[in-house]
Amino acid sequence: MNKKTVSQMGGQDHLDRQNTNKKLEQLDAHRRDATEQALTTNQGVKIADNQNSLKAGTRGSTLLEDFILREKITHFDHERIPERIVHARGVAAHGFFEAYPGNEKWTKAGFLTDSSIQTPIFVRFSTVQGPRGSADTVRDIRGFAIKFYTEEGNFDLVGNNAPVFFIQDGIKFPDFVHAVKPEPDTEIPTGASAHDTFWDFVSLVPESAHAVMWAMSDRAIPRNLRSIQGFGVHTFRLINAKGEAVFVKFHWTPKQGLAQLVWDEAQKLAGKDPDFHRRDLYEAIENGFYPEWELGVQIVPEQDEMKYDFDLLDPTKIIPEELVPVTPIGKFVLNRNVDNFFAETEQVAFCPGHIVPGIDFTNDPLLQARLFSYTDTQLSRLGGPNFHQIPINKAVCPFHNNQRDALHQHHVHKGQAAYQPNSIDGNWPVETPPAASQGGFESYQERIDGRKIRERSPSFSDHFSQARLYYQSLAAHEQKHVVDAYVFELGKVERLHIREREVQEVLANIDIDLARQVAEQLGIALKADAKAQSQAIDKTSAKLSMQAFVPEDIKARKIAVLVHDGANAAQVKAIQDWAKSEQAVAEVLTPTPAPVKDSKGKDIASDGMQKGEPSIAYDAVVIVDGDNLDAVKKDGVAKHYLLETYKHLKPIVFLGDKAELIDLLGLEDDAGLFKADDFKKIADDFKESIRKHRIWAREPAAEVIPA
């Protein structure tokens, strides 16, 4: 039988795809709902514009009278009971925030201006797409929400580990989530975006291009939750005691540096340890490795609002740090795990509308919808309007008003006057003037002058230049991972026309080289005149690459020490002592959970067995020397352990006679492979290699290693 040429195979694959698409189209005819019908409200009113909420002018605030937005969002908010619709799988911890001195020139918020106090906080991390039972390490944006229990009331900073979102207007949020969630006919896939409906939506909605690029990057598969950045996404206002306002974007940057998984690790962890991220956070805090972030803001004076070639109110845009640097305003530390997952992590209710004097909103149309949506969601999820009385949600400062009764009312109110003004109870509780000395909340008095209209501001119309900026700013290995991610995700898309549209109409408008690489691997032909819209813009922004955030130390990093019978106990002790001095964790892994005998016949205690504690859970590996080389050569588990560690680009130390394993396993020598008779001789170089997280130069060689 003659072998097919590559071109023949590609042509056959194309025909197979066409036949598959025809079959899918035939099946779709029986599955479609409301085909060729007008889009209407639940009351049957035909909708003229389903893309934009009703605003006071193109850049004005969203209007409460928008019954289409309210109906759509209300229905969406109540679609799941009682699990969160998005961000269902989460993990949380308690901590504290401390402000740096000097913030009073921007804000009058007490917790940001009084550097002598520690403000209690509660932080919840989460994935977006998957349900509570999904895995931690799926490719997804991570939620990063902080509740500050301030003396002036609760402030919730509800953000993500990406600084941009997939849509510009909140009226599109239900559509986006419906598209990214498991498909409604099969409830597949769980916790993943590699499917038809997600890519159908984003390929038709070019405003999503920037956020999709972040989701295809290494940011979407973090090594752990202690090593992710956080962003407030929206532009907010800070207001000082004089009533002066500035625009701000919130950033929180980990002192632990940024770290990512490689894709093979992420997939294996999803099967071997779906709780990997939550376990890591819990263990780090229990062991005293308290994660810490610095809170910063990008500050834009009001007069500079229209200064840039993007709109500050557009949640799909960043402000490059070369234009506006991040100003540190404080830090926070997580130092206590929850006592009860349900009572705290599951019942915590965040809302962007929970603000305090000195902080205010802007007219970002996505933020405006979120101000309504979050509170509305809690009414179903937490059983009514008294969710603020649940201990994890309760303000630490006193609160008094005339709201009464309703489901789950815990407070026994007294008196007759449940209204205001009143004369029966001395008119209490009463308003507080907004003067700085008294602290009543007052909304910023922004002038709004515009027609009621469903329309995007023209300043929101550039969807590709910042996606290109992000891609161009990544290191070479990060760019390769983006290409690989698009190929993997689009390779799971069954409908050929969706694949082609994403490559030809989105990627080709971001970066033509990116589009060509993805197209080539998917067997898609780019259009003859394909040229990126922003091809002429060759800008970079240094802080967009994860390489810009390398930690100063290896605190809390985990090292697997592979030990067999006959091991050199002195070397094991030297490794453990060194790790302790660096505040790292060195765990002795043995063939079985039982202790092994050292070269003198004494026991070496086991922290776990090699088969049960896989290399994907560690940052580096040391295999100890001793009178056991032949036994190790016959140990398939140990050899696989080393191959997998090499494949995942991690540092490995081969002590003494174990250096023979390098050639035996076919490993290529590089900056992350260490050979020594004495661990102390290479300890400093080993530490530096761990600090840098991966040996990216190894990647081409590692890809051919079967592990």
Residue 283 has, within 13 A of its CA and on its CB side, a CA count of: 13
Separation between Cα atoms, residue 610 and residue 273, nearest integer Å: 15
In degrees and rounded to multiples of 5, residue 155 shows phi and psi of -120, 125
Give every CB contact of residue 230 below 8 A, 6+ residues apart in sequence.
Answer: 144, 146, 159, 160, 161, 250, 251, 252, 293
* Closest to 127 (Cα-Cα) out of 222, 207, 255: 222
How far apart CA 470 and CA 318 sit, in angstroms, is: 10
Q: Are 61 and 448 in contact (CB under 8 A)?
A: yes
Which positions are catalytic? 87, 160
Rounded Cα distance between 602 and 504, Å, is 66
In 62-195, alpha helices (H): 67-77, 110-113, 173-180
Phi-psi region of 609 (alpha: psi -120 to 50; beta: other; left: phi over 0): beta
Closest CA to 13 of 499, 523, 533, 440: 523
Residues whose CB falls within 8 Å of the CB of residue 463, separated by 6 or more in sequence, listed in order: 206, 207, 208, 209, 210, 316, 509
Distance CA 200, CA 495 (A): 9
Q: 255: which 2 tokens?
A: 């002192």
Cα 135 to Cα 130, 558, 605: the distances in Å are 8, 21, 32
